[in-house]
Amino acid sequence: MRPRSRFLSCTILLVVAAFIGRAQSFGFRAEIPAVQKTGYYRILLPPAVVGQLKADRSDIRLFDEKKQEIPYILNRDQPNQKVQFNDYELVSKITSAVSTKLVLRNGNRKPISSLGLIIKNTNLRKKARLSGSNDAQTWYGIEDNYLLEPVASTETTSEARIIGFPLSDYAYYQLEINDSLSAPLNILKVGYYTTTTDEGQYSAIPGVSFAQKEQPEDHKSQVRIAFNTLSRPDKLTISVDYPVEYRRRVELAERRTWKTKRRRLQTGFETLKTFELNSIDSLHTVLLPNLQTNELYLLIENQNNQPLKIGAIQAWQLNTYVVAELQPGNSYHFALGNPAVGAPTYDLPYFKDKIPGSLPSILALMPTPVAVSAASSPSFFAANPWVIWVAIGLVLALLSYFSYQMITDLKNR
């Protein structure tokens, strides 16, 4: 091998080794408590562990005591909404040759602005009208020209239709459907829909503190929220001690440093979201974007009002957990803190339906920094990442030089 080729090969190997060493180096380690029997476990990740991960939580690995990688499934609780259909009390249903009359009772006289109809599939169009009454004797018109369009579902034999009307609180409602031109519709249920929100399960982030500073010249209050370690909070809860009545615009922000056009460093706030604090709610909940931070700021606009006195601030994280099969007599740990690694590819997610729905839960321990020994080969590159870029530049320069030499040799020949 010619000397210059040998030198080029060595340089390329140096760069490859540097990248491999960097990709395999994890900055933190979190131990897992020992288990008593073989099986799948739900391992909850504490906020300090999640705070060290990337936004997609993909840079975490599970190892046993022999440093063998253990497949896992990562799950994260998410808020979701549930829509439920509730039946109204059907007082009477009268079918004649010309119409179908349904009388419904609104027991609690709750103000409503819509009715839901569960109807068997049909291709008929029907006209309908709606009336309201407080005694089921005297009726008052609400809507006189409904058009019930055909219902056709390819997945079920019935379908829902919503009819809207002005907000009202009658005790009784009468829906009259015109059947003079065709057979009546098969109406299975009449009711209303309610939407409930499941906020998901959260864990409190410990060690959160705050300090409030007034800026009377700007009519603002600045509240600094500090975290013990890097964290990924999903929501904040804020309570206000006084005044009793208030309504204030608030910016949630992070402090940033950037370069101006003249290449000078400038520090300021970057707004993440705006919201309102008002005395209607005793405990204010603020949902946060997916961010990694160790401090946040609340910038409160007081205008000419008395500044708010913040009583307490708590940060919360949506529960994040790993499902994996563990065995007794074996020690396990998580490796994390390496943004250079990508998401792992395991067979386990394809068989998640075979994993029991109810699993025993254990909590991973707090992460600790990994002590890098002097004999560890990746340590030099992890501590000196600039060497990698120097090596890359050197390789590019050598490739350019050798390419020029080859072209010159060809021309001379």
Kindly state whether residues 193 and 243 are assigned to the same domain: no
Q: Between 131 and 257, whose confidence is greater?
A: 131
Q: Would you state the pLDDT for residue 275?
A: 93
* 353 phi and psi angles, rounded to 5 deg: -65, -20
Q: Would you state the pLDDT for residue 393?
A: 76
Mean pLDDT of 320-326: 94
Mean pLDDT of 20-45: 84
**What CATH code is carried by the domain that includes residue 155?**
2.60.120.260
Residue 342 and residue 58 in contact, taking contact as beta carbons nearer than 8 Å: yes
Kindly state whether residues 176 and 278 are assigned to the same domain: no
DSSP 236-286: EEEEEEE-SS-EEEEEEEEEEEEE-TTS-EEEEEEEEEEEEEETT-SEEEE
Establish if 150 belongs to a structural domain.
Answer: yes
Rounded Cα distance, 28 and 49, in Å: 9
Entry pTM? 0.61
Domain count, the chain: 3
Domain boundary among 167, 198, 229: 198
**How many CB atoms are located within 10 Å of the residue 176 CB?**
20
Kindly state whether residues 97 and 121 are assigned to the same domain: yes
Residue 316 and residue 236 in contact, taking contact as beta carbons nearer than 8 Å: yes
Rounded Cα distance, 198 and 297, in Å: 28
Establish if 192 belongs to a structural domain.
Answer: yes
Beta bridge partners of 112: 168
Domain that holds residue 409: 1-25+372-413
Mean pLDDT of 285-312: 93
Assign 84 to helix, strand or coil.
strand
Kindly state whether residues 180 and 211 are assigned to the same domain: no
Kindly state whether residues 207 and 248 are assigned to the same domain: yes
Kindly state whether residues 187 and 217 are assigned to the same domain: no
Kindly state whether residues 104 and 143 are assigned to the same domain: yes
Establish if 274 belongs to a structural domain.
Answer: yes
Kindly state whether residues 377 and 292 are assigned to the same domain: no
* Residues 20-24: contacts with CB under 8 Å, at least 24 apart: 20/378, 21/377, 21/378, 21/381, 21/382, 22/340, 22/378, 22/381, 22/382, 22/385, 22/388, 23/338, 23/340, 23/341, 24/378
Q: Between 314 and 148, whose confidence is greater?
A: 314
Q: Would you state the pLDDT for residue 12?
A: 53
Establish if 140 belongs to a structural domain.
Answer: yes
Establish if 227 belongs to a structural domain.
Answer: yes
pLDDT digits (tens, 9 = 90+) for 94-146: 988 899 999 999 888 888 888 888 888 888 888 999 999 999 999 999 998 88
Establish if 378 belongs to a structural domain.
Answer: yes
Establish if 86 belongs to a structural domain.
Answer: yes
Kindly state whether residues 208 and 303 are assigned to the same domain: yes
The owner of tokens 């708010």 is 308
Q: How confident is the model at residue 196 (pLDDT cuts 50, 70, 90)?
A: low
Mean pLDDT of 364-370: 91
Kindly state whether residues 164 and 228 are assigned to the same domain: no
Domain boundary among 198, 226, 250: 198
pLDDT digits (tens, 9 = 90+) for 36-92: 999 999 999 999 999 999 888 988 999 999 999 999 999 988 776 677 788 888 899
Kindly state whether residues 311 and 207 are assigned to the same domain: yes
pLDDT digits (tens, 9 = 90+) for 215-251: 999 899 999 999 999 999 999 999 999 898 999 999 9
Tell me how long the chain is: 413
Assign 363 to helix, strand or coil.
strand
Mean pLDDT of 162-183: 91
Residue 165 and residue 114 in contact, taking contact as beta carbons nearer than 8 Å: yes
Q: How confident is the model at residue 300 (pLDDT cuts 50, 70, 90)?
A: very high
Kindly state whether residues 115 and 159 are assigned to the same domain: yes
Angle at 285 between CA 295 and CA 239, to 5 degrees: 80
Point out the least confidently predicted range of 23-27, 252-256, 344-348, 380-384. Answer: 380-384
Q: How confident is the model at residue 335 (pLDDT cuts 50, 70, 90)?
A: very high
Residue 21 and residue 375 in contact, taking contact as beta carbons nearer than 8 Å: no
pLDDT digits (tens, 9 = 90+) for 149-164: 877 677 788 888 888 8
Q: Would you state the pLDDT for residue 299?
A: 95
Q: Would you state the pLDDT for residue 316?
A: 94
Assign 215 to helix, strand or coil.
strand
Domain boundary among 318, 342, 357: 318
